[in-house]
Structure 1
Amino acid sequence: MTKTTIPYAETGYFSSFICDYIRQKDALQEFYHRYPSLENAQAQLSEKEACFSKATRETLVQSLQQQYKGVTTSQTTQDNISALAAPTTFTVTTGHQLNLFTGPLYFLYKIFSTINLSEALRKKYPDYHFVPVYWMATEDHDFEEINYFRTRGKKVAWEVAASGPVGRLSTEGLQELSTVLKKEFGSSDHARQLLRWFETGYVQHNTLADATRYIANELFKEYGLVIVDGDDTALKSVFTPYAKQELLEQTAFSEVSKTTERLTSLGYPEQVHPREINLFYIKNGLRERIVQREDDFFVMDTELRFTKEALVKELEDHPERFSPNALLRPLYQEVILPNLCYIGGGGELAYWLQLKAYFSTVSVPFPMLLLRNSVVLSSVKIADKLQKLEVDMKSLFLPQHALETQHTRKISSIDIDFSPQRKHLQEQFKALYSLAEQTDASFLGAVGAQEKKQLNGLDHLEKRLLKAQKRKLADELNRLTLLQDTLFPNGNLQERTVNFSEFYEAYGPQLFEVLKAQLDPLEEEFTVLAL
């Protein structure tokens, strides 16, 4: 096994916004509280400890114990749940949708980033305890985003009519996919383990939330991972005062809009657009926005209508019927968890960076924000082939046309760089410009036009030569692009496309052992692992 790393900014796959954040660019410092580091964790935990109540801890522990009823988990996870009642216990959290069979590979990288940072904090601060948390996005309603995964180049999809919070969806019908997966996974011991996880998760559990908890617990229980379902009446009761403020004062819209204006004025894009009210009304099969029209409140695309007083009573009596949207979910999470750091992808951190001023306004500590590990899983065989081609891994991050051009110029026996010819041509035209300056402006313009025409001609000839050399060297270029296609399916990052099952079938538990050992959440570079 070999490991190499590449700066995120040099991969071409990360926005300037996130790269500037990693560089801690001065212009972005007002949008976060403390940059993630082991040293900064001391001030973060002191701040959180001062405002996180014993009652909230007790509610959190009781809710988790209820959520874990019937779940066979490790002693480490059980101890972590119990430890959350203590004032010296804090969490490191990541969140993820309820993608079928965990979805793309980066699910694993999020979780291991969270587990490894928790362990690093324990070593740094032995008087405190740190718990890795996976927040299940059970209240999302974008079923089309989560109803499939890809393995061996094929899409395995759960085709069913669905509406409302995805965590409440019945798993009925998923048994049919087991037949498909028996063919896809094969008959090895590792393949049979994959099939057991899938069948036990989706056939023996009634809801998508329960199935996802089972699978995530099976994969990570030995590391003490604690899985939280925010679609919980007791936890939402803790959040009720903030939900009430959102309904009546619409603070998030005001504060986030002002922050977004500052970000866009600096040239950064808006990641999430705030609504006047950032709450949904949910029941089974229903999750729709709450909107205000004059003095009354309505649930979009329904006949539901509330006066202000009736809506507040509904919230107090049935907090489980109110669901934060993507913009408000971070606040909900930080209100009910003794959290120090949130770990997410670039898109997630971008919308968190819109929220700091809002958190200050509602007097909730803003967590440290850490970019999750990103990984390309390769093989020693592929690494050897790249070495024979004299291509470094960094080059494979280029767009394919750029990779082909770079390699053609490198291996061509003919120099395809016409820069000397351009320089010579420009030197010749200097004399013509001197001559033109002694006559009228029309001749000067003619000289300029002719120079441009001839330089364009050289550009065209260079492109023709490059194209001819690509044809001549097609065999080697095809070998190279085949390697790139293997590691970057359809020109995308592997981690955003391929499911873990493809690698687990090949490597089994070793896959998790390597990721656990090699991923440093504070390394802040893209990781390439040749297994």
Structure 2
Amino acid sequence: MKTYQIPFKSTGFFSKTMLHYLEQNSKIKSFYNNFPSLDGFKNQIVEKRNSYNSETRANLFSVLTEQYEKVNISEETQTNLSKLKEPNTFTVTTGHQLNLFTGPLYFLYKIISAINLCEELAIQFPEENFVPVYWMATEDHDFDEINYFNFKQEKIRWNSNQQGGVGRFKTEGLEEVFSVLSNHFGTSKNAVYLKNLFKQGYFEHSTLAEATRYIANELFGKYGLVIVEADNARLKRELIPFIKEELFDQTSYKTVLNASEELAQNYKVQVNPREINLFYLIDGLRERIVLEDTIYKVNNTDVSFSREEIEEELEKHPERFSPNVIMRPLYQEVILPNLCYIGGGGELAYWMQLKEFFNKVSVPYPILLLRNSVQVLTEKQERKLASLNVSIKELFLKQKDLLKLKVNENAEETVNFNEQRKFLEEQFVMLRGVAKKTDMSFIGAVNAQEKKQLKGLANLEKRLLRAEKRKQQDLVHRITTLQEEVLPNQSLEERQRNFSEYFIEYGDSFLDALKENLKPLDLEFTMLVMK
């Protein structure tokens, strides 16, 4: 098996925000705390140790122990659960929605990044314990985002009209999904394993949260992964002081709005805060809490509270108060002895809007780590790349740029007018100089003529390139087919494909290859060639 690593920048798929973060650009430094380096983790350990109290730790251990009572827990996960009682134990967390059958490939990459980082930190800091955590987004209510997965460009969808937090959804009615899945998967040994995994996950567990926990535990329990279901009254009780501040002072709105305005000067802002960043959550319902005059209302319902009533409701039923995208990170950092959050580029970008909020409420802001990203190649695809003389980096070029490059490399006469364009621009520089000395009113005419001439040259270049592509149509077809095979829809496959495609082909060796080769602290994009 071969691996290659290339800079994230070379793929063309990562935002300016993330590239500047990885470069530790001065423009973005004020929006994060410790950087994901060994020195950064050393500092983060001290910060978290000084802020995380023993009562919160004991409550976490008690709740997780209860949540795992009905789970076939591995020895490794049991060991990590026990370690969570110890004051020298810290977590590395990643979170993800409850996508049907794990959803896109990067679900795996997130979790393996967390597992491998914990192993690396254990080597570097032998006096401490590190536990990988998967935070299930059970309180999410956007079912349309999670009710499907793709298999060989076919969408396998679960239709349901249930409402509210998706973790509470009943798994009834998935027989039709299983029937479609079975037809697609085939009858190989690996396919049978996956079908049994689906059946045991969704047919033997009553809720989507329980099913997702089962599947994630089956895939990653041997590595000691701990799975957190935060839709829990005892865990939410830890958040009560912060929920009160949110309801009565709107601290997150003020601080995140300020940080977002600063961030927007150079980067795209991912989320916009609301005055109250909480939902009201009961079975079948998750709706925003809004403040109108002095009354707290649950959006799209007749439910409302006075200040005193909502405070009483919070004390009696903290589980009914659900954090949105702004408050959820705080909830995580309050209840876990967490050092680092591992996420995709979009996730980390919105975390960067939150540092000022964390500082204001005196909760340590975690290290942010861009998850591993992987492009899988087969040996056959690697050989095709070599025969076409396409390098790994060139594979990520926009298709029109890649074809132009390779057609030119193979043309008898290069279709590239860069020299002519440069010569033309130099002539118009001279003409502008003449115009300035004679009559300034001619400057506009000179500029217009330059634009016209350059446009004509570009059109001529495009026509000649199209003609050359027709001459080399076999090469063009082979390159186009290969690139679209590797990068479906001209995007990273990790957002398009489900792990089942590779598991059916390679079985456990696929997961083993990821575990062996993903290096979270290398901060580079991984190309993995499977035999």
TM-score between the two structures when normalised by the length of structure 1: 0.97
Q: Take 2:351 and 2:106, find their aligned partners in 1: how far apart are those partners?
A: 19
Q: Residue 424 of structure 1: CA displacement?
A: 4.9
SS across alignment from 2:28? helix
- 1:269–1:59 distance in 2 versus 1, CA, 3 Å: same
| Counterpart residue type for residue 391 of structure 2 | D
- 1:446–1:223 distance in 2 versus 1, CA, 3 Å: closer
Q: Take 2:172 and 2:369, find their aligned partners in 1: how far apart are those partners?
A: 37
Q: Take 1:257 and 1:379, find their aligned partners in 2: how far apart are those partners?
A: 46
Q: Take 2:429 and 2:528, find their aligned partners in 1: how far apart are those partners?
A: 53
Q: Residue 437 of structure 1: CA displacement?
A: 7.2
Q: Take 1:204 and 1:455, find their aligned partners in 2: how far apart are those partners?
A: 67
| Counterpart residue type for residue 280 of structure 1 | F
Q: Take 1:360 and 1:486, find their aligned partners in 2: how far apart are those partners?
A: 46
Is the CA contact 1:175–1:202 (under 8 Å) kept in the aligned structure 2?
no
State whether structure 2 residue 319 is matched by structure 1 residue 349. Answer: no
Q: Residue 181 of structure 1: CA displacement?
A: 1.3
Give the structure 1 partner of residue 117 of structure 2: 117
Q: Residue 436 of structure 1: CA displacement?
A: 6.4
Output one character per residue of 1:42-71: Cα deviation in whole Å (capped at 9) or x when no partner.
Answer: 221111111211111111011111111211
Q: Take 2:422 and 2:368, find their aligned partners in 1: how far apart are those partners?
A: 49
Q: Residue 240 of structure 1: CA displacement?
A: 1.1
- 1:157–1:441 distance in 2 versus 1, CA, 3 Å: same
- 1:476–1:87 distance in 2 versus 1, CA, 3 Å: same
Output one character per residue of 1:298-334: Cα deviation in whole Å (capped at 9) or x when no partner.
Answer: 0000000100000000000001111000110000000
Give the structure 2 partner of residue 322 of structure 1: 321
Give the structure 1 partner of residue 480 of structure 2: 481
Give the structure 2 partner of residue 244 of structure 1: 244
Q: Residue 433 of structure 1: CA displacement?
A: 6.8
Q: Take 1:434 and 1:354, find their aligned partners in 2: how far apart are those partners?
A: 49
- 1:458–1:65 distance in 2 versus 1, CA, 3 Å: same
State whether structure 2 residue 468 is matched by structure 1 residue 504. Answer: no
Q: Take 2:434 and 2:275, find their aligned partners in 1: how far apart are those partners?
A: 68
State whether structure 2 residue 169 is matched by structure 1 residue 169. Answer: yes
Output one character per residue of 1:262-314: Cα deviation in whole Å (capped at 9) or x when no partner.
Answer: 1112x212111111111100101100000111111000000001000000000
Give the structure 1 partner of residue 280 of structure 2: 281
Give the structure 2 partner of residue 183 of structure 1: 183
SS across alignment from 1:26? coil
| Counterpart residue type for residue 85 of structure 1 | K
- 1:455–1:361 distance in 2 versus 1, CA, 3 Å: closer
- 1:498–1:437 distance in 2 versus 1, CA, 3 Å: closer
Give the structure 2 partner of residue 361 of structure 1: 360
Is the CA contact 1:281–1:287 (under 8 Å) kept in the aligned structure 2?
yes
Q: Residue 510 of structure 1: CA displacement?
A: 0.3
SS across alignment from 2:90? strand
Q: Take 1:208 and 1:431, find their aligned partners in 2: how far apart are those partners?
A: 71
Give the structure 2 partner of residue 391 of structure 1: 390
Q: Take 1:448 and 1:60, find their aligned partners in 2: how far apart are those partners?
A: 69
Give the structure 1 partner of residue 201 of structure 2: 201
| Counterpart residue type for residue 134 of structure 1 | Y
Q: Unaligned stretches of 5+ in structure 2?
A: none
Output one character per residue of 1:425-469: Cα deviation in whole Å (capped at 9) or x when no partner.
Answer: 566667877876786567776666555444433222111101111
Alignment of 1:372-411 (within 5 A): 372-411=371-410
Q: Take 2:359 and 2:296, find their aligned partners in 1: how far apart are those partners?
A: 27
Alignment of 1:55-94 (within 5 A): 55-94=55-94
Give the structure 1 partner of residue 35 of structure 2: 35
| Counterpart residue type for residue 494 of structure 2 | E
Q: Take 2:57 and 2:429, find their aligned partners in 1: how far apart are those partners?
A: 78
SS across alignment from 1:416? coil
Q: Residue 419 of structure 1: CA displacement?
A: 3.0
Output one character per residue of 1:72-119: Cα deviation in whole Å (capped at 9) or x when no partner.
Answer: 021110111111011011000000000000000000000010000000
Give the structure 2 partner of residue 260 of structure 1: 260
Identical-pair percentage: 52
Q: Take 1:281 and 1:505, find their aligned partners in 2: how far apart are those partners?
A: 42
Q: Take 2:529 and 2:292, find their aligned partners in 1: how far apart are those partners?
A: 58
Q: Take 2:444 and 2:325, find their aligned partners in 1: how far apart are those partners?
A: 58
Output one character per residue of 1:157-191: Cα deviation in whole Å (capped at 9) or x when no partner.
Answer: 00111210000000001122211111111111000
Moved more, 391-400 or 188-197: 391-400
Give the structure 1 partner of residue 141 of structure 2: 141
Q: Residue 125 of structure 1: CA displacement?
A: 1.1
Q: Take 1:252 and 1:428, find their aligned partners in 2: how far apart are those partners?
A: 58
| Counterpart residue type for residue 60 of structure 2 | L
Q: Unaligned stretches of 5+ in structure 1?
A: none
Q: Residue 388 of structure 1: CA displacement?
A: 0.6
- 1:57–1:447 distance in 2 versus 1, CA, 3 Å: closer
Give the structure 2 partner of residue 217 of structure 1: 217
- 1:378–1:317 distance in 2 versus 1, CA, 3 Å: same
Is the CA contact 1:281–1:299 (under 8 Å) kept in the aligned structure 2?
yes
| Counterpart residue type for residue 318 of structure 2 | P
Q: Take 1:362 and 1:431, find their aligned partners in 2: how far apart are those partners?
A: 62
Q: Take 2:256 and 2:233, find their aligned partners in 1: how far apart are those partners?
A: 27
Q: Residue 364 of structure 1: CA displacement?
A: 0.6
Q: Residue 31 of structure 1: CA displacement?
A: 1.1
Q: Take 1:447 and 1:164, find their aligned partners in 2: how far apart are those partners?
A: 64
- 1:411–1:317 distance in 2 versus 1, CA, 3 Å: same
Alignment of 1:296-315 (within 5 A): 296-315=295-314
Give the structure 1 partner of residue 15 of structure 2: 15
Q: Take 2:252 and 2:449, find their aligned partners in 1: how far apart are those partners?
A: 60
Give the structure 2 partner of residue 420 of structure 1: 419
Q: Residue 38 of structure 1: CA displacement?
A: 2.1
| Counterpart residue type for residue 480 of structure 1 | I
Q: Take 2:439 and 2:312, find their aligned partners in 1: how far apart are those partners?
A: 85
Q: Take 1:289 and 1:260, find their aligned partners in 2: how far apart are those partners?
A: 21
| Counterpart residue type for residue 463 of structure 1 | K
Q: Residue 486 of structure 1: CA displacement?
A: 1.0
Q: Take 2:443 and 2:22, find their aligned partners in 1: how far apart are those partners?
A: 50
Q: Take 2:86 and 2:425, find their aligned partners in 1: how far apart are those partners?
A: 75
Give the structure 2 partner of residue 105 of structure 1: 105
Q: Take 1:434 and 1:503, find their aligned partners in 2: how far apart are those partners?
A: 63
SS across alignment from 2:140? coil
| Counterpart residue type for residue 268 of structure 1 | Y
Q: Residue 386 of structure 1: CA displacement?
A: 0.3
Q: Residue 244 of structure 1: CA displacement?
A: 1.3
SS across alignment from 1:92? strand
